Amino acid sequence: MKKHGILNSHIAKLLADLGHTDTIVIADAGLPVPQGVPKIDLALSLGTPSFKEVTELLAKEVEVEKLTIAKEMETDNPKQAEFLKKQFSNQPIEHLSHEALKKATKQAKAVIRTGEATPYANCILHAGVIF
């Protein structure tokens, strides 16, 4: 049995398979998942697991070169926006409209659905390279 890191086998495989510039989405409970994009559903109940918990864990496992969020998060969910600014303080954050962000999820390797129940608590992680 694996001793450290993410134990979910689907997420562990997804992260091991990521290449430079590949994207994954961390989503709240309501974000629609485009047809054809795999969904890894972690939602147990509203709020569990939280967007913050899942994002913190993935940030420890993935080299992130850029982050994309909905610009609506800044005004409608400033607590989550501030969390992301602190968590990814060394990476640029791109802002798109929520509609444009939903369209961008079509290119993702997968969507990881959390139980988060706050508005616009979604982000796209762009994989970097470790060398």
| List of domains in the chain | 20-127 (3.40.1650.10)
Report the distance separating Cα 31 and Cα 18, nearest Å.
Answer: 22
- Count CA atoms closer than 13 A to 37's CA, side-chain side: 22
- Rounded CA-CA distance 127/72 in Å is 23
pTM of the model: 0.96
Give CA 77 to chain center in angstroms: 16
- In sign, the C-alpha dihedral spanning 6, 65, 25, 122 is positive
The pLDDT tens digits for 45-82 are: 999 999 999 999 999 999 999 999 999 999 999 999 99
Question: Catalytic amino acids?
Answer: 20
Known binding residues: 28, 98, 120-122
Q: Which residues are annotated as a binding site for substrate?
A: 28, 98, 120-122
**Given CA atoms 25, 29, 34, 37 in this order, what sign does their dihedral have?**
positive
